[in-house]
Structure 1
Amino acid sequence: MRHVILGTAGHVDHGKTALIKALTQIDCDSHKEEKERGITINLGFAHMNLPSGESVGIVDVPGHKDFIKTMVAGAFGIDIVLLVIAADSGIMPQTKEHFRILELLGVANGIVVITKKDLVDEEMLELVQLEVAELLEGSSYESAPVVKVSSLSGEGLDELIMEISIMIPRLNIKKSQDLFRMYIDRVFNVKGIGYVVTGSVLGGQLETGSILNLLPGKGKQFKVRAMERHGIPIETIVSGDRAALNLSGFKMEDYQRGMVLSDQILDETALLDATFKLFSDEQMGLWSKVIFYSGTFESTAKVHVLNKDGLEKDEMAIVQIHLEKPAVLLNKDKFILRNSSNDMTLGGGVIIDTKPLHHRRRTPKLIQVLTELSEATLNSDQQFNMIKIELKKAKTPVFSEELAEALKLQHDELLHECDENNDGTVIVRNISGKNIIISSDQQIEYEKTIISMLQQHHETNFLIDEGLDVNELIGKLGLKTIEAAKMYIPDLLDTMKEGGSIRKVGNTWSLVTHQVTIDKKTQQQIDWLEKNLLGYNSQIPLNKELEAEAYSEKINRDNLKLLLKYLVHLGKIRASEGEYIHTNIVEEVKRKLMPVLVEKERGINEKEFRLLFDSTKNFVKTMIRILVDEGLITKSEFYIHITEKGKDYYKK
């Protein structure tokens, strides 16, 4: 069964509500003020059963110019529109405004209904039909059926029902996405039941008992106690349904207009990239203050035109929208903009990015990227391009589940796109059962960067065979916080090893081309430094002293650091917090200290340690750090004690 929502549109007092009542026997003007004023103010809801047995949800929107925001909310999510034009009035300002709004919101299927035919003669009817043909010419509704009816007598209603029945099978079936989303357009309290919220289901499906998030907000969740579709209790609702939900624990103070219900927690945004078409006679400059509408959400905003210096009527541009208050929106959502006085609809468009950077400069590169993004967003056959663009934005490897969520695609659909339409620009790696996706350009960039980092490391550390370990590489690539990268980079390094560009040295990675060569002069400097450190015995040279002594041997500071690192690498000297001690001295300290600690159950303090070796405080503190790191001793506030490992060392 298809799940279809029918909506009305048109000028005030053209008979929209009367038409719905004639079709359904339901009066949508249920509010006291509507009865008194004789016009629709709030959204009205009804349903009708077709001869085929299908039940169609109906949304009746207000036609008065003061209630355009309510009209936009009602039009959001409808499948078929009935554009209502009164035969005794013809096309009026709100007829044209509603018509343009419907086009901008992407409501592609419509039927023109000329009402009140009983009030005019045939000549007048023909004139109205000519007006209608002129309005529809060149639009997506150019071939829409035109039906003349009288809601009072019922004439023409059967023809209208037939046209609706013919159109429904031709509709594109809405994909039932993983994500359930429904704007709340009405809230009321039912005695003995509690609060009920209604709306049009924009995507996904929902079962009784499910937990829903009320967004944007502070993480408030509600359990679905019961649901109705067209007044009938049901267990499941799907995309395209008009639904009423009874939410357990819901209170009126929880709700603000513009909120959406979803079975997932969605990020808020106050910055949007979008395509926008201006249809008003007003021009738009580089920056404009506007009122933004999408679904039931409304906010004042500023619009920055990015790829032009301004807009004339019927021109399209890529814009960045700065919302005054945060919203929960998705890519491909439609929106309408009105001027800051809220007395004119300027135009509308499609969101292409809900998480953009703030575009302070309108560079050619930015315009190119946004143009590609808009083309991919607006063309349903360019889903793979959307994947490529999202990866280009991410600039990192991503888990396939995260990418599917970002694009609001089903996971299997994403993997299918990457498999079927892949032109070599996207790489999917299965690592330990997880699919990690990256653009081929980004992988090439990582490979080049890793090679460059290792080259730089080897140039600085030319005496050492070891390179950088995987954690150092991840850190230098700026990927420490990216979980997918922690799995991806080790896998990439293995691939680079297979390609012959790098090799494993210990737990580090080095370039295959890197070979340690020590010339005679360097070897002499190494020998001098080792002998010099050995001569300090139970003292430690200050860094300034060591640098001065090295300078006299024509060894500058950078080379001294490299020589020290090389000797540490060979195990000839030990390093701790910038202090260096010859390994032979460390071993001598162990040989003398361990027997003393074995004998002294209470341990020894630092002063006793210093006296034992006739050494300095600095030497003692450094030796304590080294021996603690080796696990041979422990250090309390005052005393040094031998460990079990230390006792084993002593026995050996």
Structure 2
Amino acid sequence: MRESFIIGTAGHIDHGKTTLIRALTGNQGDRLREEKERGITIDLGFTHMVLDNGELAGIIDVPGHERFLKNMLSGATSISIVLLVIAADEGIMPQTSEHFSILRFLGMKRVAAVLTKSDKVDDDILSARRSEVRDFLSSNGYGDSEIFAVSSISGQGIGQLKKWINDSYDSLEKGDNPEEPFRLNIDRVFNSKGFGTVVTGTVMEGTVNQGDTLDLLTPSEVLSVKVRGIQVHGAESTAAAKGQRCAINLARTDASRIRRGDTLAMQGLVSGSSIIDCTFIMADADARPKDRDRVRLYLGTREILGRIHFLPDDIHPGMVQFRLEEPAYVLRGDRYVARSYSPMHLLGGGEIIDPSARKYKASKSMEHMDHLFKVTSGDSYGAFLSTLEASHAGMADMSDAIRLGGEHLVEKGKANGDLAEIEGKVVTSSFISRTLEETRARMEEYFSRSHLGIRAGKEEIRLRLSVPPDRKVFQAILKLSDNIIDSGDSLSLRGRTIVLDDPESALAHRMLSYLGETPFSPPDLKSITLSQKEKRIFESVASYLVETGDILILDGIYFTSAAMESAQRKITGILSSKGPVSIAEVRELLQTSRKYAVPILEHLDDLGVTRRSGDRRILR
């Protein structure tokens, strides 16, 4: 489906934008009763003109007065060309300049000035107006723009303007990108009898089809909604493409949960963020806002309050960070406009560079600079990897990674060894390296507190990492290590040697001898007589003997490994010669009590040496 060709109009109130549209199309863009009564456009007016080749060009009449200026951004996001409307009998007015600045902030590239009401002035005044407008356009970087003098009443100059519009259509690149994900900012929402919830807006990018399931992104929640029906330019359609003005009938939600400024998008495309890094072009260099001033940010059809933070000019020239009071659903490359909180006046605007930024810290300014340099230098691959690191600490869900860079950059990263896919996550190679290095460091810290320790608790170590991956990802990363041994619930370091000092060695020998005096009916190890010094090291030495396997703890009873090996030989011997044996027979064989015989047999069951058969044990 071909995307629409959109014409935007902007200019001061009563300079004839709506009348001009009627002259171009035969239709009137005003759509609200209040607009009809007041004769002004208080909300975005939408209509269309038929081009010479039969194609439809959408026309957005952007409001021209202060009170509703924020609506301009709603219409401007999908505009192909702009008609800057200036009344020949009044010339450039304050709102003309402000509207033009906003369009410049929004990245409008093709602009024509239209001098309306030219039949109301003589040739000298008209010539002066042309010079005035030419100087204005040139000073703002649009010196090559066309200037048309027209009368919407008599039709004077309308033919030349239409020709320019048709030539612009022919010269602009057209055609939609089937890979481009769908996104639309909602500017109206209402209930329609017999249909239910309906939202309207202009498709920012991509295509939406009847039956699609989309994300409805609101400040407080993300809802899953289904497209029940679509209208484009007032006619039923099965799809709507980039630039087209459409109404979408939604299922699975109620109009009360939606407001102007919410976003419809392909599922998983956009995540909310309250910190964004942006370029910033000031509207007036002499009226620079102060750092941390409260501002109004206009994104799509939303107004969001936040604070502006200027990044150091020597490191990030022309860059700011906005910290917002509610999440914004934006992507890199989106445009914005900023106004002061109170009293309201235009501050500037620009382009979003990092839609999921980390809070700027002076101590990490060089890292911040490097990230933004990659983003702004056109290095899409480097910017993608840098964003994964900066915004997601090197680990993201696959859907988020694809949203940030697209499948092609994810696959490129995997092929280059810069990324790995682990348990549905995309992780950077540096995240893997950091996780392994930090895991080893946390283990070393643990062993420094318990120098006789051989194993550290796996979950304890994972939770102490600065960015703990989930358990499955952590386990997969550990498999990539050459020196960390994963034993299930515990971790150990390959090649780590432990040397007992003399007191520790003497106590270990005495503990084993104490248990070995009655190997199959061992005494409670804690009942051993200890000196004051031995009491201080008892727990660590006991843990060491358990970790080395010299002692086994079965049902809270300490057995030496030598005793268990002897018990296994005796029990397997009698089973081989006599067949199944009872607990009483094992008790008699080992000259012990049931208290000790039961855990010994259960241990042999766990090892797979024996198994229960009724009330007896047999060899496996």
Smaller-chain TM-score bracket: 0.7 to 0.9
**AA aligned opposite 1:349:** G
484-493 vs 333-342, which moves further: 484-493
Map of 2:138 onto structure 1: 137
CA distance 1:412–1:452, change in 2 (3 Å): same
Map of 1:274 onto structure 2: 278
Task: State whether residues 15 and 84 of structure 1, in contact with CA within 8 Å, keep that contact through their aligned partners in structure 2.
Answer: yes
Task: State whether residues 41 and 62 of structure 1, in contact with CA within 8 Å, keep that contact through their aligned partners in structure 2.
Answer: yes
2:296 partner SS: strand
1:489 partner SS: helix
* 1:415 counterpart = 2:411: yes
CA distance 1:252–1:489, change in 2 (3 Å): closer
Task: State whether residues 384 and 418 of structure 1, in contact with CA within 8 Å, keep that contact through their aligned partners in structure 2.
Answer: no
**Rounded Cα–Cα distance in structure 1 between residues aligned with 2:468 and 2:398:** 19
Map of 2:434 onto structure 1: 445
CA distance 1:431–1:213, change in 2 (3 Å): closer
Output aligned runs, 1:457-606, within 5 Å.
477=465, 481-482=469-470, 485-486=473-474, 488-493=476-481, 497=482, 502=483, 514=496, 525-535=507-517, 538=521, 540-541=523-524, 543=526, 546=528, 548-549=530-531, 551=533, 557=537, 560-561=538-539, 563-575=541-553, 580-583=558-561
Task: State whether residues 182 and 260 of structure 1, in contact with CA within 8 Å, keep that contact through their aligned partners in structure 2.
Answer: yes
**Rounded Cα–Cα distance in structure 1 between residues aligned with 2:422 and 2:34:** 63
Task: State whether residues 631 and 646 of structure 1, in contact with CA within 8 Å, keep that contact through their aligned partners in structure 2.
Answer: no
Task: State whether residues 413 and 419 of structure 2, in contact with CA within 8 Å, keep that contact through their aligned partners in structure 1.
Answer: no
CA shift, 1:469, in A, is 9.3
Structure 2 gaps, min length 5: 572-579, 586-591
1:48 partner SS: strand
Map of 2:362 onto structure 1: 363
Map of 2:124 onto structure 1: 123
CA shift, 1:46, in A, is 0.8
* 1:232 counterpart = 2:235: yes
**1:202 alignment partner, one of 201, 204, 208:** 204
CA distance 1:480–1:305, change in 2 (3 Å): closer
Q: In angstroms, what is the RMSD of aligned CA positions?
A: 4.3
**1:183 alignment partner, one of 161, 182, 185:** 185
Output aligned runs, 1:632-643, within 5 Å.
none
527-536 vs 28-37, which moves further: 527-536
2:156 partner SS: coil
Map of 1:165 onto structure 2: 166
Task: State whether residues 229 and 242 of structure 1, in contact with CA within 8 Å, keep that contact through their aligned partners in structure 2.
Answer: yes
- Normalising by structure 1, what TM-score? 0.78
481-490 vs 148-157, which moves further: 481-490
175-184 vs 561-570, which moves further: 561-570
CA shift, 1:92, in A, is 0.5
- Normalising by structure 2, what TM-score? 0.81
CA distance 1:413–1:455, change in 2 (3 Å): closer
1:402 partner SS: helix
**Rounded Cα–Cα distance in structure 1 between residues aligned with 2:141 and 2:472:** 45
CA shift, 1:336, in A, is 1.7
1:17 partner SS: helix
Output aligned runs, 1:59-74, within 5 Å.
59-74=60-75
1:12 partner SS: coil
Task: State whether residues 478 and 486 of structure 2, in contact with CA within 8 Å, keep that contact through their aligned partners in structure 1.
Answer: no
Map of 1:427 onto structure 2: 418
Task: State whether residues 43 and 74 of structure 1, in contact with CA within 8 Å, keep that contact through their aligned partners in structure 2.
Answer: yes
CA distance 1:451–1:132, change in 2 (3 Å): same
**AA aligned opposite 1:303:** I
CA shift, 1:377, in A, is 4.0
**Rounded Cα–Cα distance in structure 2 between residues aligned with 1:264 and 1:349:** 27
CA distance 1:528–1:177, change in 2 (3 Å): same
Task: State whether residues 611 and 619 of structure 2, in contact with CA within 8 Å, keep that contact through their aligned partners in structure 1.
Answer: no
Question: Over residues 152-202 of structure 1, what are the superposed CA-to-partner deviations in whole Å (9 max), with x where a residue is unaligned?
Answer: 122222322222233335446665555321111234555554554221111
1:168 partner SS: helix
577-586 vs 217-226, which moves further: 577-586
CA shift, 1:229, in A, is 2.2
CA shift, 1:328, in A, is 2.8
Question: Over residues 68-119 of structure 1, what are the superposed CA-to-partner deviations in whole Å (9 max), with x where a residue is unaligned?
Answer: 1122222233222211111111110011001111111222222222222222
CA distance 1:477–1:645, change in 2 (3 Å): farther
CA shift, 1:478, in A, is 5.7
Output aligned runs, 1:219-298, within 5 Å.
219-248=222-251, 251-264=254-267, 266-280=270-284, 281-298=286-303
**Rounded Cα–Cα distance in structure 2 between residues aligned with 1:218 and 1:505:** 40
Aligned residues: 597
**Rounded Cα–Cα distance in structure 2 between residues aligned with 1:468 and 1:15:** 77
Map of 1:343 onto structure 2: 344
CA shift, 1:17, in A, is 1.0
1:82 partner SS: strand
Task: State whether residues 175 and 239 of structure 1, in contact with CA within 8 Å, keep that contact through their aligned partners in structure 2.
Answer: no
Task: State whether residues 401 and 411 of structure 1, in contact with CA within 8 Å, keep that contact through their aligned partners in structure 2.
Answer: no
Map of 2:335 onto structure 1: 334
CA shift, 1:50, in A, is 1.4
CA distance 1:572–1:242, change in 2 (3 Å): same
**AA aligned opposite 2:385:** K
**AA aligned opposite 1:644:** R
2:418 partner SS: strand
Task: State whether residues 274 and 321 of structure 1, in contact with CA within 8 Å, keep that contact through their aligned partners in structure 2.
Answer: no
Question: Over residues 537-578 of structure 1, what are the superposed CA-to-partner deviations in whole Å (9 max), with x where a residue is unaligned?
Answer: 6465464x55834836xx951xx5554344334543213698
**1:644 alignment partner, one of 606, 612, 617:** 612
**Rounded Cα–Cα distance in structure 2 between residues aligned with 1:623 and 1:333:** 74
**AA aligned opposite 2:134:** A
Question: Over residues 332-351 of structure 1, what are the superposed CA-to-partner deviations in whole Å (9 max), with x where a residue is unaligned?
Answer: 32222222235311212333
**Rounded Cα–Cα distance in structure 2 between residues aligned with 1:463 and 1:332:** 56
Map of 1:395 onto structure 2: 393
**Rounded Cα–Cα distance in structure 1 between residues aligned with 2:487 and 2:228:** 61
2:287 partner SS: coil
**Rounded Cα–Cα distance in structure 1 between residues aligned with 2:233 and 2:222:** 30
CA distance 1:628–1:179, change in 2 (3 Å): farther
CA distance 1:532–1:182, change in 2 (3 Å): same
Task: State whether residues 280 and 350 of structure 2, in contact with CA within 8 Å, keep that contact through their aligned partners in structure 1.
Answer: yes
**Rounded Cα–Cα distance in structure 2 between residues aligned with 1:588 and 1:398:** 53
Task: State whether residues 210 and 230 of structure 2, in contact with CA within 8 Å, keep that contact through their aligned partners in structure 1.
Answer: yes
CA distance 1:566–1:150, change in 2 (3 Å): same
Structure 1 gaps, min length 5: 600-611, 615-619, 633-641
**Rounded Cα–Cα distance in structure 1 between residues aligned with 2:471 and 2:484:** 24
Output aligned runs, 1:12-23, within 5 Å.
12-23=13-24
